[in-house]
Chains A and B, each alone.
Chain A
Amino acid sequence: EAGVAQSPRYKIIEKRQSVAFWCNPISGHATLYWYQQILGQGPKLLIQFQNNGVVDDSQLPKDRFSAERLKGVDSTLKIQPAKLEDSAVYLCASSPFRPQGASGNTIYFGEGSWLTVV
């Protein structure tokens, strides 16, 4: 089974420029997540999609970050304009959907897209 695919793996941009990251989840996984991992810290959730709808974007800095999952499969995360503090690894993850009440969902992560803002 193929894992979560992400591209590009590495990106260096100047502050105030824009960048976009792409993710293809594990086949059949209805739920897709974007996480931000700053060096030396654990990943933090930015946004969760269920099919092509947003379930939780409370931690997404909406003034500069946007994400979409138009056809319920691939997703794109965009940052515009980038700030120095956006330097981090952007991790895409996916999980199969289980109905309300089920305890726990296994979440699988991709290799990440490493962003350096200079």
Chain B
Amino acid sequence: GENVEQHPSTLSVQEGDSAVIKCTYSDSASNYFPWYKQELGKGPQLIIDIRSNVGEKKDQRIAVTLNKTAKHFSLHITETQPEDSAVYFCAALISSGSARQLTFGSGTQLTVLP
């Protein structure tokens, strides 16, 4: 099955600096890569996603890049703010018929220091 590795497990940055989280996946059949933000006591919230036919996607301060050849994808957050502090999960999805197998990374605890 798919295996997703995520690094780093914890990340502290100063407010206004950039944060980068990296993930690798193992199964070339994965074709969709969402990123979720999870705040304490809440469910995962989708913040950005990228499909396998796209190399980069940006939404305001958040961007995601995908390198299919190397099987890795990254989340970039610029101009970080204290409210960006949360756990971030990358995931990779394999579609087979109507089955949707979404495999998550282990998460990155991002702390933005004021």
Cβ contact within 8 Å between A104 and B93: yes
Given A42-B106, A48-B99; A107-B53 close (CB under 8 Å)? no
- A-contacting 9-mer, from B14-22, B43-51, B55-63, B68-76: B43-51
Name which residue of chain B comes closest to A108, CB basis: B46
Total A-B contacts with CB atoms under 8 angstroms apart: 75
Instruction: Please name all residues of chain B whose beta carbon is closer than 8 Å to the beta carbon of A48 when the two chains form the complex.
Output: 99-100
The interface size bin for chain A is: 20 to 34
Residues of B within 8 A of A (CB): 4, 6, 31-32, 34, 36, 41-46, 49, 51-53, 89, 91, 93, 95, 97-102, 104-107
7 A-B residue pairs with CB within 8 Å: A42-B107, A43-B89, A44-B104, A100-B95, A103-B32, A105-B32, A107-B34
